Structures are given as C-alpha cells and as structure tokens.
Amino acid sequence: MPQIQIPSPLRQYSGKQASVAVPATTVGEALAVLVTQHPDLKRHLYTEEGKLRAFVNVYVNDEDMRYLQKEATALNDGDTISIVPSIAGGCC
Amino acid sequence: MLKLSQSAHISLRQHGEETYPYECCGVLLGRFDDDGSRTVARVAPCGNTRADSPHNRYSIDPKELIGIQREGRERGEDIVGFYHSHPDHPAQWSPTDLAEAHWFGCSYVITSVEQGKAAITNSFELVGTDEAEKKFEDEEIRLV
C-alpha cells in the first residue's frame, strides 16, 4: 500500500503519525483518502476552492507530481508520497 | 528554545560566510523535546535555488529536502527547523521570511553576514495554527 509522509507541522492533524498508509491507485485518490481519514488536515492542504495550496509540494518518490500526471499520477505498492511545504524567504 | 551544539552553530554561520554575498540555507535535523524546545543533532546545508536573486532570496529544493528527511528518518531524526543568512542585513525575519514560512512549530534561524563575516545569529519559532494568523516569536538559542 502507498505511504504518505506527513511533515512535522501537520502531524498534530494526523493523529501524530509521521506516515499514513493509504489504499489508493492515484495521487489524487491517496490525498482524498488522507483527508477523509484525518479531516483536520484538509484546510492545511487545500484552499476553500478545493485546490492544493500553492506552497504545498507533493512528491511521488523523488518526483514532483506536477511534472508527472499531477493528481492522476498512478501509484504502485510501496510508493512513497511526500507532502513538503515550501521552504523559502529572503532578507528584504 | 533551540538547543544547538557549538559545532552546529559554527557550521551554519560558516555556511553564510561561504556563500556571501548570497544567502545560504539549510535544514536542522534533531528532535522535538517534551518541553516544547527543539534539539538539533545535525545541520544539513542545502543549495539555494533562487539563482535569479540569491543576494536577497533563498529557496530549498523540495527534492533535496526529501533526501535529507529520508536520511534523517533512518537515524531517528526529524526536521526541526531551517536556517538561512541575511547578507549585509540584520538577523531579523523579514516580511518575505514570514510570508514564505509554513513549517509551524519549527525554528527559523537567521544569521546576519556583514562584509563576509558572520555577525549575529537569531532564532524564531513559527507559531500559530494557520496561514492567516501565523507569526514568528523570538526564541533563545542555547549552545549545548
């Protein structure tokens, strides 16, 4: 079953789990299962319009899903999905 | 509070000197303590992907972060914060730093680098529960 890695700031909304196994065949399905199991995660990942927040990166193994087939990206058993909020800034 | 070893403190400050006049950036790996503080076990320097404006912007490639996270997990370490430098600017968070910060409960360490020499290093914890009301709070850096 694919696993979703939860970054530390969001674990308070995933029952303190760092990794959640999801029965899913696509990335979109996996994220939908995740927020169904852990509804408090939804507003941190999605806008009110239901779009993934711009600063939330989703990787399948080592590939950005935006450069694969986005939410339609197929998953295999043992795939790892990483949710990575962006890390950026600057002095002025 | 952020607990840093002397060597980690030196390492992240040196990184800022090495990349001057550009911003450096990296990841702090360690553990979240029960008392709400963070203890850093390791500093992982990263590349700055903001090649368009590296003197006043930084960004860490998520792919690089995933690799660091994976290696940390194998050692039982978590991502507890990040660091970057402000070349010839104060070691205070900027509006850009706050707007682009999304790792609640983590430390954001900033070192001012003046004329190529690391000057002041400060740390700020990103607090709040959502984007609308997030803020940085000053936190003590304790060298251990």
Average pLDDT over every residue of B10-37: 97
Burial of residue B130 (CB within 10 Å: 0-12, 13-18, 19+) is exposed
Percent pLDDT > 90 in chain A is 99
The answer on pLDDT for B143 being more than 90 is: yes
Q: How far apart are the first and last CA of chain B?
A: 12
Q: Does A47 touch chain B (CB under 8 A)?
A: no
Average pLDDT over every residue of B24-30: 98
The CATH class of B2-143 is alpha beta
Which of B59, B66, B88, B92 should we substitute to test contact with A (largest number of A Cβ atoms within 10 Å)?
B66
Name which of A9, A57, A89 is nearest B84 (Cβ-Cβ).
A89
ipTM surpasses cut 0.85:
yes
Name which of B58, B84, B102 is nearest A55 (Cβ-Cβ).
B102
Indicate the average pLDDT of chain A.
95
pLDDT of residue B21: 98
Which structural domains are found in chain A, ordered by start? 3-85 (3.10.20.30)
pLDDT of residue B120: 98
- The radius of gyration of chain B's CA atoms, rounded to the nearest angstrom, is 14
Catalytic member of B18, B23, B114, B125: B23
The answer on pLDDT for A92 being more than 90 is: no
What are A32-71's pLDDT values in tens digits?
999 999 999 999 999 999 999 999 999 999 999 999 999 9
Instruction: Check CB contact under 8 Å for B57 and A88.
Output: yes
Instruction: Check CB contact under 8 Å for A89 and B97.
Output: yes
Q: DSSP for chain B?
A: -EEE-HHHHHHHHHHHHHHTTSPPEEEEEEEE-TTS-EEEEEEEEE----TTSTTT-EE--HHHHHHHHHHHHHTT-EEEEEEEEEETS-SS--HHHHHT---TT-EEEEEEEETTEEEEEEEEEEESSSGGG-EEEEE-EEE-
* Residue A23 Cα, gap to closest chain B Cα (Å): 22
Q: What is the pTM of this model?
A: 0.96
Cβ–Cβ under 8 Å, residues B60 and A87: yes
Using a CB-CB distance cutoff of 8 angstroms, which residues of chain B are in contact with residue A84?
A: 62, 65-66
Cα–Cα distance for residue pair B38/A66, rounded to 1 Å: 33
Is B23 one of the annotated active-site residues of the chain? yes
Q: Which of the 8 DSSP states describes residue A87?
A: -
What are B57-97's pLDDT values in tens digits?
999 999 999 999 999 999 999 999 999 999 999 999 999 99
The closest alpha carbon to B3, from B33, B38, B29, B28, belongs to B38
pLDDT of residue B9: 98
The answer on pLDDT for B116 being more than 90 is: yes
Using a CB-CB distance cutoff of 8 angstroms, which residues of chain B are in contact with residue A86?
A: 59, 62, 100, 102
Measured torsion, CA atoms of residues B65, B70, B74, B76, in degrees rounded to the nearest 10: 50
pLDDT of residue B137: 98
Q: Does A62 touch chain B (CB under 8 A)?
A: yes
Query: What would the two tokens of residue A84 be?
Result: 């990575």
pLDDT of residue B74: 94
